[in-house]
Amino acid sequence: MEPQLGPKATEEDWSAVFVHAGAGYHSVPNEPAHREACASACRAAIVFLKNGGSATDGVEMALKSLEDNEITNSGYGSNLALDGTVECDASIMEDSGRSGAVGAVWAFKNPSALARLVLDNARKPLSLKRVPPVLLVGHGALAYAKEHLFPEVDNKALVTRHAHARWNKWRKELDIVEQQERATNKRQRVSRQPSPAVKPASEKATVKAPIHADNEDLVTDTVGCICVDRWGNVAAGSSSGGIGMKHRGRIGPAALIGVGTWIAREGQSVVAATCSGTGEQMAHTLIASKAVNRIIAMEDEIEGLKNSIEEDFMGSRIVKESIMSSAVGIMAVRIDKDSSKGRIKFFYGHTTDSMVMAHMTPSMKDPETVMSRNRNNPETCLGGKSIQASKLAAE
């Protein structure tokens, strides 16, 4: 995104960064580590924004910081697929509407950087009037990266000890379930033949629904970032290792513009959102775009966000009829350049146990972190604040 010098460029500095590290359950013992992951991402982005970097630069730097931190489910330390492989999704969008995304990629330390490459190259014309891609997945993304000399890593370098331990635990639980299913199918096949009495249901082996321990995180989805540069340009992005034990090739909301990330402009007002939660349900409901539309349409932005979570997501037919657990978390930012107050509004909502976020502006010595804990799950937990735009120093 090229900086756009407007008539107010010497009056106000809109620079700000907002990040979240996923919605789910963040254990109390690990809370400081989750807060610090968000704070570190803010620091990485604000360095670029303070020195005239674009909003897109800030988003890329923040996402890379989150991907490099093993406590997040993105990049290094991501959840593992059924076969024990890390596969990641990422996207970056600008308020111009331009975007770049990659999905189901397994050979890159920072999938967000590859998404940025796709975004930047989408500005360049191709021969024979071909249209540059904005979303590349799997082997196609790998070939594209090779063509552009993008650095690769061995997939094993992305697997952490904790992620592998989780995979081993889930693999054993899945084996038990599969054994029970095979036994059930066998009984059904021979049910018409004389057979010994089957044990009553109370004596059959059962698998209890998993209950998280107090010191165990259950954060299984997207991290995200929204940045505003000094000229008021906005960019947003998401990155994720996806759900644990997923099928190889599964594309999650972090790669899907309008689902995990969305930005819309109406006049001088810009609203951006990045989301986390149950990916397949998010995809069916197009929740990021619907949340942004609600926020733009309503004077009370938090009420608009609440309506989107409760009506567009939780109230949707696909969620109501789903046999899966349903969860969503949304972080959003609104900037109104016509406002005489020069404020950026930051707000969030989630139905999960917790959601961790942070924000920072150039005038702040340290990032401000928030661990929002929902005492009424699955009801919606909401919050937000206004941030004053800074004055640019004289050039």
The CATH number given to whatever domain includes residue 74 is 3.60.20.30
Position 66 in a domain: yes
Query: How does DSSP classify residue 256?
Result: -
Contacts of 314 (CB under 8 A, 6+ apart): 320, 326, 328, 351, 378, 380
Mean pLDDT of 295-317: 97
Q: Is a pLDDT exceeding 50 seen at residue 2?
A: yes
Q: Is a pLDDT exceeding 60 seen at residue 393?
A: no
Cα–Cα–Cα angle for 159, 162, 163, nearest 5°?
45
Q: Which of 236, 240, 208, 209 lies closest to 223, judged by CA? A: 240
- Distance, CA of 104 to CA of 121 (rounded, Å): 20
Q: Which of 89, 62, 47, 25 lies closest to 224, judged by CA? A: 62
Q: Is a pLDDT exceeding 90 seen at residue 355?
A: yes
Q: Which of 220, 222, 261, 278 is catalytic?
A: 222
pLDDT band at 186 (very low <50, low <70, confident <90, very high): confident
**Number of domains the chain is built from:** 1
- Distance, CA of 145 to CA of 228 (rounded, Å): 28
Q: Is a pLDDT exceeding 70 seen at residue 10?
A: no
Position 100 in a domain: yes
Determine how many CB atoms are found less than 10 A away from the CB of residue 318.
Answer: 13
Q: What local confidence, expressed as pLDDT, does residue 183 receive? A: 85
Tokens 């963040």 found at = 26
Token code pair at residue 13: 């500095």
pLDDT band at 388 (very low <50, low <70, confident <90, very high): confident
Position 190 in a domain: no
What is the average pLDDT score of the chain? 89
Q: What local confidence, expressed as pLDDT, does residue 263 receive? A: 98
- The residues with which 354 forms a beta bridge, in sequence order, are 24, 373
Mean pLDDT of 324-329: 93
Q: Is a pLDDT exceeding 80 seen at residue 173?
A: yes
- Judge whether 222 counts as a catalytic residue: yes
Specify the range with the lowest mean pLDDT, choosing from 41-55, 116-130, 201-215: 201-215
Q: Is a pLDDT exceeding 90 seen at residue 129?
A: yes
Identity of residue 37: A
Tokens 């619907």 found at = 290
- Distance, CA of 359 to CA of 343 (rounded, Å): 14
Position 2 in a domain: no
Token code pair at residue 270: 């810009």
Pairing of strands 390-391, 354-360: unpaired
Q: What local confidence, expressed as pLDDT, does residue 343 receive? A: 85
Q: What local confidence, expressed as pLDDT, does residue 349 receive? A: 98
Q: What local confidence, expressed as pLDDT, does residue 191 receive? A: 63
Mean pLDDT of 281-287: 97
Number of C-alpha atoms within 13 angstroms, CB side, residue 179?
10
What are residue 335's phi and psi, to 5 degrees? -125, 130
Position 211 in a domain: no
Position 290 in a domain: yes
Q: Is a pLDDT exceeding 50 seen at residue 74?
A: yes
Q: What local confidence, expressed as pLDDT, does residue 181 receive? A: 87
Measure CA 248 to chain center: 19
* Residues 120, 126, 131, 132, CA torsion sign: negative
Note the pLDDT tens digit of each residue in 240-263: 999 999 999 999 999 999 999 999
- Of 187 and 2, the structure prediction assigns the larger pLDDT to 187
- Of 19 and 180, the structure prediction assigns the larger pLDDT to 19
- Of 340 and 234, the structure prediction assigns the larger pLDDT to 234
pLDDT band at 338 (very low <50, low <70, confident <90, very high): confident
- Of 8 and 291, the structure prediction assigns the larger pLDDT to 291
Q: What local confidence, expressed as pLDDT, does residue 190 receive? A: 67
Given a contact cutoff of 8 angstroms between Cβ atoms, the answer to whether 148 and 121 are in contact is yes
Q: What local confidence, expressed as pLDDT, does residue 203 receive? A: 31
Q: Which of 260, 277, 171, 165 lies closest to 219, judged by CA? A: 277
Identity of residue 338: D
pLDDT band at 391 (very low <50, low <70, confident <90, very high): low
Mean pLDDT of 367-380: 94
- Distance, CA of 240 to CA of 73 (rounded, Å): 6
DSSP labels, 30-82? THHHHHHHHHHHHHHHHHHHHTT--HHHHHHHHHHHHHHSTTSSSSTTPPP-T
Q: What local confidence, expressed as pLDDT, does residue 199 receive? A: 36
pLDDT band at 359 (very low <50, low <70, confident <90, very high): very high
Position 194 in a domain: no
Helix (H, G, I), strand (E, B) or coil at 18: strand
Token code pair at residue 199: 């044990």
Q: What local confidence, expressed as pLDDT, does residue 1 receive? A: 59
pLDDT band at 11 (very low <50, low <70, confident <90, very high): low
Range of 66's domain?
A: 12-157+221-382
Q: What local confidence, expressed as pLDDT, does residue 330 receive? A: 98
Number of C-alpha atoms within 13 angstroms, CB side, residue 276?
38
Q: Is a pLDDT exceeding 70 seen at residue 213?
A: no
Pairing of strands 269-277, 261-266: antiparallel
pLDDT band at 29 (very low <50, low <70, confident <90, very high): very high
pLDDT band at 6 (very low <50, low <70, confident <90, very high): very low
Model's pTM, two decimal places?
Answer: 0.90
- Distance, CA of 79 to CA of 284 (rounded, Å): 23
- Distance, CA of 58 to CA of 36 (rounded, Å): 18
Which class for 206: exposed (0-12), middle (13-18), buried (19 or more C-beta within 10 A)?
exposed
Identity of residue 177: V
Position 56 in a domain: yes
pLDDT band at 341 (very low <50, low <70, confident <90, very high): low
Identity of residue 80: L
Of all residues in the chain, the percent with pLDDT exceeding 70 is: 87
